[in-house]
């Protein structure tokens, strides 16, 4: 790297381009009666009264990116309207009557190249004043639309920190995981054979609340607590055995338990399901009392129909999930859970709703297939509107890290089932496990932060944030994005290259903002907010 050369350069301030580029109307070419007018409240001190004329821009965009296009405009006329043409594509717009300028969106998600573009604003209907055009870069990263808060109201501090870690890590690395059946069996096998342990461990309430003489109901919770204390992530599922106690099965073929009775609060089945939920809530409450956050994945693979909770179709299963959420969160006061819905094909009618789900998982069993499962990733991301992180909640064969990176399939974590799925080379070879655990793209237990004290950014993924007072910029060495945070509202952020030229400017009026850097060349950059001390970062 040539960082030492950058450090020797002299910095000066000269505007080149911006995160949100503005083009003043008075700098355009004016035809047929459009005139430049001095205005105290307008940007740059002038605006253009269009009258019956034309306004023509030849403008240069600094970077190739996805943009939203705005116009700053006003009109004293009722039902004023106009038409804007960008590189030959027309966008008609109408204007709200008023003497004050306001920002009106003309088009969104425009993929535009760097360099010259032509804009023509044609003869208007009504009296229209134009202040400026604005091209705003849109964040199209996989995380752009993901929910920033948990669906559980007033979540515990631990739950917030775990979710923040999952969010910060999303798209940066994949979290390694493994399912266990008996106290850390597969974790210990991997430790013995690879020297490393996965960052996430799956445990199951399968044997709990059945009065089995050979089983300790506290075992899965104790395993979760121990792993969390080692900075691991506990992911708990529940192979829920027949609530009626007529059988010990959870498979549809082996029990006649009728989930549809969840719709009848007077039924024995409803009462049996509620009783089991209450008992399980007690197990989860012990973890909350020990300040443990949990990835909670109930009623998994429902639409497959092979479990009793999916035997009667979408409506009763969806109702059961919602009742469980309400009972656990609002009745039992569980606020330490991150709720996961496990998608199956054609299960849109089964989905409990965005207000009940934090993460969407997919259980993928394709023997010997170590591909990235990109089609599943892309389909799920689109299906949920990019609002939910998606993950491989179970699998047989794990995806190869090289394929994940190549295809940009940004799954949150992977978790193969226990037994042969972990140990047998038919599914996953020991060489692949070693390769995965050695990969920079795969997080293992030894690379995890303390989840009880975690704050953004993830210091195992990036170098520590550069901080001046309460103004943070990270990562110090970035590839695609840099994040700016402050304890106060960020006013104006400017990014300067090593020559001192301004290459970004944004006024977010938020406490944090993510700034795309993908289009900028490698090198050193200075980031400045208001009168804060300038912070130095490096684009790799």
297-309 exposure pattern, b = at least 16 Cβ within 10 A, e = fewer = bbbbbbbebebbb
Q: Which two tokens stand for residue 114?
A: 């760097």
Query: In angstroms, rounded to a whole number, what is the distance separating the alpha carbons of residues 133 and 85?
Result: 12
- Report d(CA 222, CA 213) in Å as an integer: 18
Q: Strand 442-443 and strand 174-175: pairing?
A: parallel
Catalytic residue among 394, 447, 529, 532: 394
Strand pairing report for 80-86 and 46-49: unpaired
Phi, psi of 443 (to 5 degrees): -85, 130
Beta carbons of 406 and 384 less than 8 angstroms apart = no
What tokens were used for 272? 């049996």
E strands, 166-246, where? 174-175, 177-179, 200-204, 233-237
Q: Is 134 among the catalytic positions? A: no
Q: Where are the alpha helices (DSSP H) in 57-108?
A: none
**How far is Cα 179 from Cα 9, in angstroms, rounded to an integer?**
53
* Catalytic residue (one of 301, 376, 529, 532): 301
3-state secondary structure of 375: helix
Spatial distance between the Cα atoms of 466 and 463, rounded to a whole number of angstroms: 9
The answer to whether 186 is a known catalytic residue is: no
- State whether residue 143 is helix, strand or coil: coil
Residue 226: which residues within 8 A CB-CB, separation 6 or more?
Answer: none
Cβ atoms of 472 and 486 within 8 Å: the answer is: yes
Give the pair of three-digit tokens for residue 437.
């655990």
Q: Rounded to whole angstroms, how far apart are CA atoms 486 and 469?
A: 9
Do 528 and 536 touch, CB atoms closer than 8 A?
Answer: no
**Encoding tokens for residue 510?**
């938020």
Residues 177 and 235 sit within 8 Å (Cβ to Cβ): yes
Residue 448 and residue 172: Cα distance in Å, rounded?
14
Q: Give 74's strand partners.
A: 129
Q: CA quadruple 188, 418, 225, 336: dihedral positive or negative?
A: positive
> Is the alpha carbon torsion for 257, 262, 264, 266 positive or negative?
positive
The residues annotated with a catalytic role in the active site are 301, 394
């Amino acid at each position: 790297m040539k960082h030492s050369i950058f450090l020797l350069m002299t910095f000066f301030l000269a505007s080149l381009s911006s995160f949100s580029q503005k083009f003043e109307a008075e700098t355009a070419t004016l035809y047929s009666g459009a005139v430049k007018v001095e205005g105290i409240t307008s940007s740059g001190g002038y605006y253009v009264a269009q009258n019956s004329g034309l306004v023509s821009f030849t403008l240069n965009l600094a970077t190739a990116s996805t943009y939203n296009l705005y116009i700053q405009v006003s009109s004293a006329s009722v039902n004023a309207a106009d038409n804007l043409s960008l590189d030959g594509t027309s966008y008609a717009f109408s204007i709200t009557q008023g003497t004050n300028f306001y920002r009106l969106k003309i088009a969104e998600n425009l993929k535009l190249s760097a360099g010259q573009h032509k804009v023509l604003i044609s003869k208007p209907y009504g009296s229209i004043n134009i202040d400026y055009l604005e091209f705003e870069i849109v964040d199209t990263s996989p995380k752009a639309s993901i929910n920033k808060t948990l669906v559980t109201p007033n979540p515990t501090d631990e739950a917030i920190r775990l979710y923040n870690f999952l969010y910060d890590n999303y798209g940066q690395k994949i979290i390694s995981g493994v399912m266990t059946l008996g106290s850390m069996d597969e974790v210990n096998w991997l430790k013995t054979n690879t020297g490393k342990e996965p960052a996430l461990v799956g445990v199951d309430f399968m044997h709990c609340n059945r009065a089995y003489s050979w089983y300790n109901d506290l075992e899965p919770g104790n395993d979760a607590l121990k792993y969390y204390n080692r900075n691991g992530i506990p992911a708990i599922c529940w192979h829920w055995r027949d609530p009626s106690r007529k059988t010990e099965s959870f498979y549809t073929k082996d029990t006649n338990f009728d989930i549809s009775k969840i719709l009848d609060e007077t039924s024995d089945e409803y009462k049996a399901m509620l009783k089991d939920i209450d008992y399980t809530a007690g197990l989860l409450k012990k973890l909350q009392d020990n300040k443990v956050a949990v990835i909670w994945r109930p009623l998994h693979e429902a639409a497959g129909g092979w479990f009793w909770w999916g035997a009667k179709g979408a409506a009763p299963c969806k109702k059961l999930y919602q009742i469980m959420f309400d009972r656990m969160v609002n009745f039992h006061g569980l606020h330490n859970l991150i709720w996961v819905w496990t998608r199956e094909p054609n299960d849109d009618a089964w989905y409990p709703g965005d207000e009940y789900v934090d993460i969407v998982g997919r259980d993928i069993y394709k023997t010997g297939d170590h591909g990235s499962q990109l089609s599943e990733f892309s389909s799920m991301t689109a299906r949920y509107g990019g609002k939910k992180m998606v993950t491989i909640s179970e699998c047989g064969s794990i995806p190869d890290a090289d394929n994940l990176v190549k295809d940009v399939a940004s799954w949150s974590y992977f978790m193969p089932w226990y037994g042969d799925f972990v140990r047998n080379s038919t599914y996953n070879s020991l060489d692949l496990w070693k390769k995965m655990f050695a990969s920079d793209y795969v997080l293992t237990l030894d690379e995890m932060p303390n989840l009880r004290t975690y704050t953004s950014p993830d210091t195992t993924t990036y170098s520590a944030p550069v901080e001046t007072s309460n103004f943070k910029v990270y990562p110090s060495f970035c590839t695609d994005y840099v994040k700016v945070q402050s304890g106060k509202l960020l006013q104006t952020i400017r990014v300067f290259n090593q020559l001192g030229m301004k290459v970004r400017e944004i006024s977010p009026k938020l406490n944090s903002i993510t700034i795309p850097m993908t289009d900028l060349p490698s090198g050193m950059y200075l980031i400045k907010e208001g009168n804060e001390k300038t912070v130095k970062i490096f684009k790799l």
